[in-house]
Structure 1
Amino acid sequence: MSKKEIDEISGVETTGHEWDGIKELNTPMPRWWLWTFYGTIVWAVIYCILYPAIPLINGATPGILGYSSRAELAQNVAAADEAKQEFVSQINDMEVGAVLDNSDLTRFAVAGGESAYKVYCSQCHGAGAEGAVGFPNLNDDEWIWGGTIDEIYATISHGVRYEADDDTRVGEMPAFGEFWERDQIRATAHYVASLSGDEHDEAYLEEGKTLFEENCTACHGEDAGGIAELGAPSLNDAIWLYGGGVEAISAQINNPQHGAMPAWQERLGDATVKQLAVYVHSLGGGQ
């Protein structure tokens, strides 16, 4: 029997292996580590027997318990849907304004409306409802078609300039470039810019004011505060849908842009539209 070699520095037995003068110490793994490792092997075998585990060509071994994470998810979703159905039914059967009179329903509607908003509305109005050029900000107090809960509900339900819905919001501004001179457009733009304190040329104000009073007050109001029934926005608060400044205002007067919004009533159902209305109304700008 060969004598075991002991390393002179460490005092530990070597394995007898040597590479380029380097010898390997014989340091076995701790017992607790080995038993833990063996335990994981046993656990893996038991798991493969009980649960789906081993990949096959068209699936995996089902396991003797027949467990399915997808089936469990479906059960959880069904349970959640059943739990909220009572609230949905109540919202569906009442006027949208009545939802705000019930604190429990309001909380539920805000949560449900926020989820629906992220799926259907955030692409245009932004994840935070801050809006973008051509898409109104839903957080402020400026409402083109009115900011009461009933008006918001009507706008979401029937859309804006959505031809497929007979009750859609309709309001269009004429293209003044078809019958005004360029100087008239510029004068009016300078006057409109002055209403909100934007940079403007005082030399245009007198003519611009006259043109505005004769042609624009019927829709935008004598104080330029807008008329929600006509979808005519306020022009005196520096909140611009298509950009502020004389150039942007001139472009809109000359050949106005008219955005469109789809009607969501038929697509989402009345209960979801009401929840959306409550959520938008809760953002801070609802009247």
Structure 2
Amino acid sequence: MAVTERDPHTGHQTTGHEWNGIKELNTPVPRAVWFFLILSALFAVGYWILMPAWPLGRTYTHGLLGVDQRTTVTRIVERAAQERSAWTGRIAALDYNQIRADPALMKIVREDGHRLFGDNCAACHGVNATGGKGFPNLTDRDWLWGGSPGTIAQTIAVGVNSSKSKDTRVSQMLAFGRDGILDNNAVLAVTDYVLSLSDPAHALGRTAQSVAAGQAVFAANCVACHGPEGRGNQALGVPNLTDHTWLYGGDAESVYTSVYGGRQGEMPAWQNQLSPVDRKILVVYLLDKGAGR
């Protein structure tokens, strides 16, 4: 049976549904809704015709405009590579001093070097290259293997104790106590002597006798690497024990731990992960970071 009742306030017919005295109106859909629905449908049809849209197994409808995001991205990457090659070619051709003397290139080195260092080196050496316990500070002038551009480049390329490079630098501190080379008293004595090399005051007072005994232990066991004066050997990556720069800490406990248990740090070889130009940028970047020290 048709519903003929009309709402006295709006004039719309009712549907015949009623809830607690509230009657449902048979209100027509607003014209604005029809307008936007039709507009959306027309837009969708137009997009399907003009743009890539529908998958067809291993391919898809390409659209009349022939837009291809993969091609677009490839083109952008190629253009960026061409722009990059303009200055990477110059960096590759110039030596380290020439690069550092060129303000325009150094601006690029600082920007790209910061990116390269952050992506590859900051996890160990810190975002500011100041290192941490077990990881060298790369902004000072204290270098285990030498701080010349060529030496830094070689270290970056082949790493230290790296299993990924047959030419890696090799360095190891023996575990004098753990392996029974020295007894505990000798380890304690040589620890005191090593501390006195950078702090002469440590050789006075109650530690004087231990320092004297430690000097004999040092002469018999340590001079082959650290030298008779404890100044190290950059050819072997052996640290200088007479300054105040310590890789694993310069307090008595840390030095004792190093002598007793030994040390064998590791640095990855980057020759297969970074291009020669990227490694060269990193070298100049690090030299620049330490220029003010």
TM-score normalized with structure 2 length: 0.74
Q: Please state if 1:241 is matched with 2:243.
A: no
**Which among 154, 159, 181 is matched to residue 179 of structure 1?**
181
Structure 2 match to 1:207: 210
Matched, 1:45 2:32: no
Q: Say whether the 8 Å CA contact 2:145–2:151 is kept in structure 1.
A: yes
Partner of 1:89: 89
Q: Which protein has greater RCO, CA pairs closer than 8 Å, 6+ apart? A: 1
Aligned equivalent of 2:14: 16
Give 1:210 deviation, angstroms.
Answer: 5.4
Greater Cα offset, 174-183 or 82-91: 174-183
- Distance of aligned partners of 1:68 and 1:127 in 2 relative to their CA distance in 1, 3 Å threshold: farther
User: How many residues in Structure 1 have an aligned counterpart in Structure 2?
Assistant: 280
Q: Which moved more, 1:97-106 or 1:148-157?
A: 148-157
- The answer (yes or no) to whether the contact 1:54–1:60 under 8 Å persists in 2 is yes
Aligned residues of 1:118 and 1:127 also touching (Cα < 8 A): yes
Q: 1:223 offset after TM fit, Å? A: 7.7
* Cα 1:118/1:55, change in 2 over 3 Å: farther
Instruction: Return closer, same or farther for 1:12/1:179 CA change in 2, 3 Å cut-off.
Output: same
1:61 equivalenced with 2:61 (yes/no):
yes
Aligned-pair CA distance for 1:53: 1.7
Superposition deviation, residue 117 in structure 1: 3.1
The answer to whether the 8 A contact 2:88-2:277 is kept is yes
Are residue 261 (structure 1) and residue 264 (structure 2) matched? Answer: no
1:135 and 2:141 matched? no
Percent identical: 31
Matched residue SS, 1:23: strand
Counterpart position of 1:156: 156
1:2 to 1, 4, 20: 4
Query: Contact between 2:192 and 2:210, CA under 8 Å: does it hold in 1?
Result: no
CA contact (8 A) 1:149 1:286 kept: no
Aligned in 2, Cα 1:254/1:275: closer, same or farther, shift over 3 Å?
same
What SS is found at the alignment partner of 1:179?
A: coil
5+ long unaligned stretches in structure 2: none
1:156 and 1:264 in contact (8 A); partners too: yes
CA gap 1:59/1:86 in 2 versus in 1, 3 angstroms: same
| Match for residue 273 of structure 1 among 259, 279, 282 | 279
User: By how many angstroms is 1:218 displaced?
Assistant: 7.0
State the Cα distance separating 1:206 from its structure 2 match: 4.0
Cα drift, residue 89 of structure 1: 1.3
Residue 250 of structure 1: which of 233, 249, 256 is its match? 256
